[in-house]
């Protein structure tokens, strides 16, 4: 699900004494209080289940083209999507090694695809979402 993060204003913290938690020392250390709250289901879950129609595919194709255009090395989205389609649930280090990439930047790229609803994370590895499978099929 989605979690909201908020931080009260410093004067709000000063007005509410706390019996637990760290206290600022006389040296002027900063004390931060972060408040978490449930804001609802992750919108990507619903998005990835939606099989795109022709209009959605056009928008999705434009969004993916923008991702590809932002990379000096050229198009990267299709090879990753095809590999995930053909190898669901395979650990990310194996995918990175196969593609000759570092793990952290590759995972960031997969998160970009996930934001478009094309992939979903598993306990280990990834798989294409129904939306991702339909998008990839539309390329052939």
3-state SS record for the chain: CEEEEECCCHHHHHHCCCCCCCCCCCCCCCCCCCEEEEEECCHHHHHHHCCCCHHHHHHHHHHHHHHHHCCCCCCCHHHHHHHHHHCCCCCHHHHHHHHCCCHHHHHHHHHHHHHCCCEEECCCCEEECHHHHHHHHHCC
* Per-residue tens of pLDDT for the chain, all 140 residues: 666 666 666 555 555 555 555 555 555 666 667 777 888 777 777 777 778 888 989 999 999 999 999 888 889 999 999 999 999 999 989 988 988 889 999 999 999 999 999 999 999 999 999 999 999 999 98
- How far apart, in whole angstroms, are the C-alpha atoms of residue 26 and residue 129? 54
- How far apart, in whole angstroms, are the C-alpha atoms of residue 36 and residue 2? 10
| Domain range list for the chain | 2-40, 43-138
Q: Domain 43-138: state its class.
A: mainly alpha
């Amino acid at each position: 699900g989605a979690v909201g993060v908020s931080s009260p204003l410093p004067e709000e913290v000063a007005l509410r004494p706390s019996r637990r938690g760290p206290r600022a020392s006389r040296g002027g250390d900063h004390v931060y209080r972060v408040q978490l709250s449930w804001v609802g289901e992750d919108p990507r879950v619903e998005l990835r289940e939606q099989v795109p129609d022709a209009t959605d595919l056009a928008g999705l194709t434009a969004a993916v083209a923008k991702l590809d255009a932002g990379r000096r090395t050229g198009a990267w989205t299709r090879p990753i999507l095809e590999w995930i389609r053909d190898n669901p649930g395979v650990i990310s280090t194996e995918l990175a090694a196969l593609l000759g990439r570092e793990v952290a930047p590759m995972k960031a790229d997969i998160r970009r695809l996930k934001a478009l609803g094309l992939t979903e994370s598993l306990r280990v590895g990834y798989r294409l979402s129904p939306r991702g499978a339909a998008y990839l099929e539309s390329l052939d």
